[in-house]
A and B are shown apart, each in its own frame.
Chain A
Amino acid sequence: MAFDSKDTAAFKGVWVFCEQREGVIMSTSYQLLSEGRKLANDLGVELCGVVLGKDIKEDYLKALGGYGADKVYYCNHELLDVYTTDAYTKVICDLVEDKKPEIFLIGATNIGRDLGPRCAARLHTGLTADCTHLDVDVEKYKAFLKTTSTIDVDNTKFEENTNLKMTRPAFGGHLMATIICPRFRPQMSTVRPGVMQTQPYDEAGAAKTVIENVDVKLSKEDIHVEVVEVVKAAKKMVDLIGADVVVSVGRGISKDVEGGIKLAEELAGVLGGVVGSSRAVVDAGWISADHQVGQTGKTVHPRIYVALGISGAIQHLAGMQDSECIIAVNKNETAPIFDVASYGIVGDLYKVTPMLIEAIRAVKASK
C-alpha cells in the first residue's frame, strides 16, 4: 500500500530516533525514550528506538530497552557510520513509510535539527521544533498548564483527542505555544536535550528488547556530500556576552579571593557557564578586566546569572538585570542585588556555593 501521511488511522506506535556519535548512543536518546515510554503507555502502543550506524555494539542496542524501548530498529550500514543528511533521511523515511509510526521523536541536537525537518518535508507531515513538554492525554496536559501557565484551566475548553500536544518556548521563553499536527502522521517533534527526565535503567526491560535488523537500501549515489573530517573540540571558552550562564563574584570574596573565584569557576562548570565579576573585583586586581559585567564592563543577558557576594551597585545592575533568571547570594539582606534577583539566599557564599554545586550535580546526575 502506498504511503499516505494523511491516512492517520494507518499509523501506530511511538518512535524515538536514538542518535549515536562514534558508535555511542547519546544521552538525549535515553531522555527521549523515557518520555516516549509515557506517551506509548497513554496510547497503549509500542515504543521503538531507531538506531542508524555501523557495527553498533549489541549491548548498546539492548540498553535502549532498559530505558523503555520495546523494540529497536537497527539500521546497520557502512554509509551510516557518520551522519549525513542524505543517507539518514533516506533510511529513516524508507522505514517510516514501511512501518508507519504515529509519533516520532528526535533529539534537538545539531544533527537532529538537520535531520528532522528534512524527513518531515519528505514525508509531508508537521514537525515541531525544540519541544520542552509533550502530552497525548488532555487531563495530563491540563495539569501541566495549571503549574506553568497563567491560563484559567478549569474555565477553558480543551478539545478532547489523543493528538500529540507539543509545547515549546518562543521568543526566548516570553511565550509558550502548544502545537498539534492533527491531519498528518507521523507527528514529529524535536525535543530539547536535557529537558526530559531519564527514568532509572531497567535490567529486565533491556533483556526483553527485540532487535530488528532493517534491510538498508543505500548506495554512495544517494549521498551528495563528503564528510572530510569530524573534529571533537576541546571545550571552547565562551565569552561573557555569548554565555548561556554567568556566575559572577563581587567584593564578597575578599575574605578568600582565590577560594571564592574557584567556587565560582566550579559552579560555572557545573552549569555550563563562565565566570564574571563586579567592577570592584577587577579594580582590586583579583581578576582580569575581561570578566567585568556592568556599565563600564560588559552587558550580558544570559539564561542564568548567579551573583555571589555582589551588592548590586547600579553600574553592575545595568549590565546584568535583563538576565532571564538571576540567583543572588549575599550576606547582607538589604543588598540591592536582591531587588532584581529571581531567587535570593541571604548567606555566606563560602557555605552556600558548595551546597549549590553539590545539589545541581545531584540533579544533573539523575537525568
Chain B
Amino acid sequence: MDLHLSREQEMLRKMYRDFAENEVKPLAEWVDENEAFPEETVKKMAKLGMLGIYFPKEYGGAGADVLSYAMCVEELSKVCGTTGVIVSAHTSLCAAPIYENGTEEQKQKYLPKLCSGEWLGAFGLTEPGAGTDAQGQQTVAVLDEKGENWILNGSKIFITNAGYANVFVIIAVTGITTDKRGRKKKEISAFIVERTDPGFSVGKHEKKMGIRGSSTCELIMEDCVIPKDRLLGKQGKGFAIAMKTLDGGRIGIASQALGLAEGAIEETIKYTKERVQFGKRISQFQNTQFQLADMHAKTEAAKWLVYSAAMKKQNHEPYTVDAAMAKLVAAETASDVTRRCVQLFGGYGYTREYPMERMMRDAKITEIYEGTSEVQRMVISANLGVN
C-alpha cells in the first residue's frame, strides 16, 4: 500500500494551491457577500485544465486521475467553498456520468466542451417531492409518436451550477415496470439536456446559508423536446446511473468538506499565533493547542478516507461504501472543525471581517447535499448487513 503521492500529484497540489491562494482566496469574501458566481475564476480554471482533470486526453481531458481531481476540490475549498463545489458538480455530476455511460457520439459531442470549460455542467435529480428518495421522481419523459424525440415535463430543484450550466444530466421517469415480486415500480432513465433546448428554462435562484456564490436554481421543463439520442445509458437504467453518479459526487463533496476543515485549521493556527490575550499569544494556551491537535487528527483521518475512496474509483474497484464513509466523516469533521475554529477566533470569528463564519456556513451544506449524513449511514449500515 503506497501512501505517497506521485511526483505529478505533488506538482498538481502545488499548482492548485498557488491558484487558490492567488486567484480564488482574494475573491472569496466578495463571492459570499454578493452571492456572486465567480465566472472569471471558472474561465481561468478551464484554461488550466481543472474542469476535466481525470478524463482522457482523447476527450479533451487532462489525463490525470481521480485523486488529482479530489485534491483540486480540496485545495479550492480551503479558501472558497463555492469555487470547490462548482468544480465538483461540473466534473462528478455531469462530465462523469456522460463519460461513464455515454455513447461514443455523446462523449465526442459533450466531453471536449465540458473539459475545456466552454460548457459548464450540472445534474438534475432532486425534485420538490424527491430528494434523498430518488424513487419519488415526478419528472416524466415520453417518446413522441414518431419515436424521434423525448418530451420532458417536470421540474428539478436545488440544482448546483444551474444558472451558468450549458449541459444538464436529467433524471426522469420513462414508464412503469413490475419488479420480480410483482410490485409496480417507476422506470427511471437519464438524459442529456442542453440549456438551449426548447421548453427548458432555469427558474428561481435559491438564497442559501452558505456556498452563497454557487448558483443553485430550479430547472423547469415544459414540453421540453430533445432528440432521441440524448438518452444517457439504457432506458430504465437511470436510477443506477444516478446512484453511481452520486457515489462519484460524494468524493467531490467529501473533498470540499476536507478542504474547508483544513482551510479553517490553517487560518486558526495563523490567528492564534498573532492574537494576544492575558499577555500571551492564544496559541500558548493549552486549550488552543489541544483543540487544534484534535481537529487536525480528525481531519487527517477524514483525508485518508477521501483519498482511499478516490483511489478505489480510479482503480475501478467498488467504492460506494468508501465514498459514503468519506463524505460522512469529512462533512461532519468540517462542520465540527469550523464551528470550533469560530470559537477560537472569539468575537472576531463571528464577524465577517474574518473568513471563519463563512467557512462554518459553507461547511454545513456538506452534511446535506448529494446525500445527507443520514443517507450515508444508511449506505454504510446496509453494507454491514444491519437491517
Question: Is there any pair of Cβ atoms, one from A and one from B, under 8 angstroms apart in the complex?
Answer: yes
Contacts of A296 in B (CB 8 A): 29, 353
Closest chain A CB from B281 CB (angstroms): 11
| CB neighbors of B among A298-316 (8 A) | 314-315
A327 adjacent to chain B (CB < 8 Å):
no
A295–B354 contact, CB under 8 A?
A: yes
Contacts of B206 in A (CB 8 A): none
A360 to B353, CA, bound (A): 37
Closest chain A CB from B352 CB (angstroms): 9
A317 to B276, CA, bound (A): 12
B275–A315 contact, CB under 8 A?
A: no
A318 to B348, CA, bound (A): 14
B274 adjacent to chain A (CB < 8 Å):
yes
Contacts of A314 in B (CB 8 A): 274-276
B353–A295 contact, CB under 8 A?
A: yes
Among B29, B274, B353, B354, point to the contact of A317 (Cβ < 8 A). Answer: B274
Among B29, B276, B353, point to the contact of A315 (Cβ < 8 A). Answer: B353
Closest chain B CB from A283 CB (angstroms): 11
Contacts of A318 in B (CB 8 A): 274
A209 to B229, CA, bound (A): 94
Task: Name the residue on A nearest B353 (C-beta).
Answer: A296
Instruction: With a 10 A CB-CB cut-off, give which of A295, A315, A318 has the most chain B CB atoms.
Output: A295
Closest chain A CB from B105 CB (angstroms): 51
Closest chain B CB from A60 CB (angstroms): 49
Contact with B along A247-265 (1 / 0, CB 8 A): 0000000000000000000
Closest chain B CB from A144 CB (angstroms): 38
Task: Name the residue on A nearest B274 (C-beta).
Answer: A314
| CB neighbors of B among A313-337 (8 A) | 314-315, 317-318
| CB neighbors of A among B337-362 (8 A) | 353-354
Contact with A along B26-46 (1 / 0, CB 8 A): 000100000000000000000
Task: Name the residue on A nearest B271 (C-beta).
Answer: A314
Contact with B along A32-68 (1 / 0, CB 8 A): 0000000000000000000000000000000000000
Contacts of A315 in B (CB 8 A): 353
A315 to B276, CA, bound (A): 12
Contact with B along A271-310 (1 / 0, CB 8 A): 0000000000000000000000001100000000000000
Contact with B along A6-40 (1 / 0, CB 8 A): 00000000000000000000000000000000000
Closest chain B CB from A309 CB (angstroms): 21
A319 to B275, CA, bound (A): 14
Contacts of B29 in A (CB 8 A): 296
Closest chain B CB from A280 CB (angstroms): 12
The 9 A-B pairs at the shortest CB distance, nearest first, are namely A314-B274, A296-B353, A314-B275, A318-B274, A315-B353, A317-B274, A295-B353, A295-B354, A296-B29
Chain A residues close to B by CB (< 8 Å): 295-296, 314-315, 317-318
10 sample A-B contacts, Cβ–Cβ < 8 Å, listed by A number = A295-B353, A295-B354, A296-B29, A296-B353, A314-B274, A314-B275, A314-B276, A315-B353, A317-B274, A318-B274
Chain B residues close to A by CB (< 8 Å): 29, 274-276, 353-354
Given A314-B276, A318-B274, output 8 extra A-B contacts at Cβ < 8 Å.
A295-B353, A295-B354, A296-B29, A296-B353, A314-B274, A314-B275, A315-B353, A317-B274
